[in-house]
Amino acid sequence: MLRFRIFLFILLFSVFNSIADELEYLNDSSYIGMYGEIEEITVQSDAVIQKVDKQVLLPTAEVKNASANGIALLKNMALPRIVVSSVDNSVTTLSGDGVQLRINGVLSTKEDVMTLKPKDIIRIDYYDEPGVRFGNVASVIDYIVKKQETGGNLMLDAMNSVNLPGWGEYIMSGKIHSGKSSFSLLTSYAPRDVMWKRTNNEVYNFSSGKIENNEIGEPTRYKVDPINLALTYNWVNADKDLLQLSLRNNMTFKPHSHTDRNSRLVQEKDSFSITDYEQSNSISPSIDLYYQHKFANQHALYLNVVGTYINTETNRQFTQTPLLGVLADTTSVMSNVKGNKYSLISEAIYEKQWEKIKLTAGAKYTHQWVENNYYIDETVSPVSMTTAETYLFSELQHRVGKFAYTVGLGAMNTIIRQSGVSQSTWIARPQFTMSYDVGKGVFLRYNAYVSGYQPSLSAMNDITQPIDKYQVRKGNPNLQPVMYFSNDILLSYQSPFVSLDVTARYNYDHKPIMDESFEENGLIVRTQANQQAFHRVQVNASLQVRLLSNKLIFTVAPFLNYYVSEGNNYLHTHLNPGIRAGVLGIYKSWQFFGEVSTRRNNLWGETLTYGEFSHLLGIGYNDEKWSAKVMMVNPFSVQGYTNKIEDLSSVAPKTQVAEMPDFKQVLMLNFTMNLDFGKNRADAVKRLNNSDTDAGILSGQ
């Protein structure tokens, strides 16, 4: 497999290089920006400009020259509260929340961002406290890029491990323009094929007595092949109209699940052989239709409709076989789930801009239909469910001198129907932000909002699935939507050589949907229910020191997380201190980097998940058309990768440890090629994009 991938690298490199030689004479460097022609300029201002709702980041020429794509540029800019993984290019906040990525306002994937050439990126708008317009996500990174006029682009990015050949990341894209139209094709492939082992220690406190299981893991295969395709057509009428049609298909083929295990179970004087295998396939085509129209006097209308179909099939087989001398029967659990889900998402937004005031108002409607069949013990249990969510919102932003504020108001209505039963809930979603630019690099901001979320479709069915000899997993049709409150305060100091950010945040979930375990009919039931409350207190600090004209950057980011989980019948707390640190050096087109991060743990309900301790070292070189990077993951590790999960239930506590001993001293090679051809034409900016990824399947594990 590794030889084939190396051969594929060489072949693609040769093809791209030949195309570059043939088309190089067509290459043109003229661009059209958001407000007319933009030539290459040198910005003589602060690299960070504070706004009421965002920070405007201006990447330097040195950082651009050392970056291969948009994700690499974001990593090299070393934002204090943003973490970019060098292994899988994921982008999260310092507290571990996901970050929404956009390109010229368009909701995008990390693969889309990786197709961007750094020289085409004008600036990055960083919304570290997004308002109701974005649905109160943790953070938004919006790349504002130069727009091509004619011609096109070809891009290849390939990363693979030398001594762990089953780990790779591959992206290919192409784009071409013709008159007012443009076509683009993007495909990505991220295979995982590794061996690991899982060790479980379980205690079942039945009313009839206690059973203790100690499970010794053996090497087990994990393999998944996700393939994503996207074909997009754009029609642009000057700067007034944009019509975009996108066809996507996200496919995941998982012949060996991450929960698979081979192990030996020791139970007092008896011992058993355990095998637990799950296979699953998912195909999710979607169609995305978008239209925008810009009126005179700086106001505009944006419309977006997305239809998605998700087909999922999951097969699981669990076997507990007694070993020699054990007087017990073999336990077998077999389940099969075939699911079909249809969804329609529509959104409309109106914006009006004045000199110091911006008004945004809109509505979003989501409708979902689910038809799942659960095949358990030769019995078919069909599940039909529909959900509808209506979200209305408005937001006003105003700046008065050094003081600025944002006021947002949203209202969400959810309707859930299952088995002839319907429930409807309204949740208010207000939001308020105020900020003050003290001067001399000091900036203060306070943000607070109320929001909510509805139960996942997979948790709301009325199906009971066996897990093993002692446990079953059960859905809960009585789950209710959840309301939560969040507020935080930020103190920021920026200077040419030092950046210091300190953030303190408190979150409260009222009647959250969390796990619950109890005994019923001689079995442990694992389910979810609306519990009492959940509290999070998070304090994050980030100190960044920039030397040699930002060519040498040191970052130290300590954090402290405190969780309080209040269930109907339990109370759990967890304190998690830690630190993340890194160093980045840039010399012309070269970059040198090193990172280390301690475990960031998470408590939710009765489940305590321990994060990963990781570190890496790397070096890279970036040319105008290609780049190469070499890095070693966990170079000083002895045990490799470990992941630990604790179930704190009093009736059935357990500890699960997953180990991948080979994930140490992992040598990764990354190659990128990005070619332009022809003259460049401006694409209009798409401002809305929606997607649906929840299949609504209840897992039997």
470 near 215, Cβ under 8 Å? no
More confident residue, 602 or 48: 602
**What pLDDT is recorded for position 22?**
39
Cα distances (Å, whole numbers) of residue 149 to 33, 181, 182, 185: 10, 11, 10, 18
| C-alpha neighbours within 13 Å on the C-beta side of residue 26 | 16
For Cα atoms 467, 662, 657, give the angle at the middle one, nearest 5 degrees.
30
Coil, strand, or helix at residue 683?
coil
At 462, phi and psi to the nearest 5?
-105, 35
247 CA to centre of own chain: 21
Output the six-digit token pair for 40.
């290459």
Average pLDDT over residues 295-305: 89
By the 10 Å C-beta count (0-12 exposed, 13-18 middle, 19+ buried), 479 is classed as: buried
Question: By percentage, how much of the chain surpasses pLDDT 70?
Answer: 88
**What pLDDT is recorded for position 13?**
45
User: pLDDT tens across 33-56, in order?
Assistant: 332 332 333 333 346 676 656 788
**What pLDDT is recorded for position 24?**
39
**What pLDDT is recorded for position 45?**
37
**77-91, 477-491, 509-523, 549-563: least confidently modelled range:** 77-91
354 near 360, Cβ under 8 Å? no
By the 10 Å C-beta count (0-12 exposed, 13-18 middle, 19+ buried), 574 is classed as: middle
Cα distances (Å, whole numbers) of residue 54 to 128, 139, 160, 321, 485: 6, 10, 36, 59, 21
Average pLDDT over residues 563-591: 94
Average pLDDT over residues 326-336: 87
User: pLDDT tens across 487-535, in order?
Assistant: 999 998 988 899 898 999 999 999 999 999 999 999 999 999 999 999 9
pLDDT at 81 > cutoff 50: yes
**What pLDDT is recorded for position 52?**
59
**What pLDDT is recorded for position 148?**
67
261 near 659, Cβ under 8 Å? no
255 near 282, Cβ under 8 Å? no
At 23, phi and psi to the nearest 5?
-105, 0
403 CA to centre of own chain: 33
Average pLDDT, the chain: 85
Average pLDDT over residues 86-113: 83
455 near 440, Cβ under 8 Å? no
Average pLDDT over residues 420-425: 83
Question: By percentage, how much of the chain surpasses pLDDT 90?
Answer: 51
Give the span between the Cα atoms of 64 and 623, in whole angstroms: 11
Average pLDDT over residues 668-673: 93
Residue type, 44: Q
Q: Which residues pair with 428 in a beta bridge?
A: 411
Coil, strand, or helix at residue 335?
strand
More confident residue, 356 or 26: 356
Output the six-digit token pair for 619.
């070096």
**What pLDDT is recorded for position 7?**
44
User: pLDDT tens across 428-459, in order?
Assistant: 889 998 989 898 889 899 999 998 888 887 88
- Mean pLDDT is highest, among 83-92, 152-161, 230-239, for 152-161
**What pLDDT is recorded for position 491?**
94
**What pLDDT is recorded for position 149?**
67
**What pLDDT is recorded for position 78?**
80
Query: Distance between terminal CA atoms of the chain?
Result: 31
**What pLDDT is recorded for position 694?**
58
pLDDT at 26 > cutoff 50: no
609 near 639, Cβ under 8 Å? no
**What pLDDT is recorded for position 441?**
87
404 near 432, Cβ under 8 Å? no
**Strand bridging mode 99-103 / 139-145:** parallel
pLDDT band at 364 (very low <50, low <70, confident <90, very high): very high
**What pLDDT is recorded for position 645?**
95
What are the boundaries of each domain within the chain? Answer: 152-677
**What pLDDT is recorded for position 453?**
86
Give the span between the Cα atoms of 299 and 313, in whole angstroms: 46
pLDDT band at 631 (very low <50, low <70, confident <90, very high): very high
Coil, strand, or helix at residue 693?
coil
Give the span between the Cα atoms of 81 and 503, in whole angstroms: 9
557 near 505, Cβ under 8 Å? no
pLDDT at 145 > cutoff 90: no
Give the span between the Cα atoms of 220 and 217, in whole angstroms: 8
Average pLDDT over residues 579-602: 92
Q: Which helix (H) or strand (E) holds 367?
A: strand 357-376
Coil, strand, or helix at residue 666?
strand
31 near 95, Cβ under 8 Å? no
User: pLDDT tens across 165-222, in order?
Assistant: 899 999 999 989 888 888 999 999 999 999 999 999 999 999 999 999 999 999 999 9
**What pLDDT is recorded for position 152?**
87
* Residues near 44 by beta carbon (within 8 Å), at least 6 away in sequence: none
Neighbours of 443 (CB within 10 A): 19
Give the span between the Cα atoms of 263 and 659, in whole angstroms: 13
Read out DSSP for 655-696?
EEEEEETT-SSEEEEEEEEEEEES---PPPPP----------
505 near 95, Cβ under 8 Å? yes
Cα distances (Å, whole numbers) of residue 270 to 63, 341, 653, 655: 62, 45, 21, 20
pLDDT at 587 > cutoff 70: yes
Neighbours of 102 (CB within 10 A): 22
Q: What is the CATH number of domain 152-677?
A: 2.40.170.20
**Among candidates 692, 693, 689, which has minimal Cα distance to 291?**
689
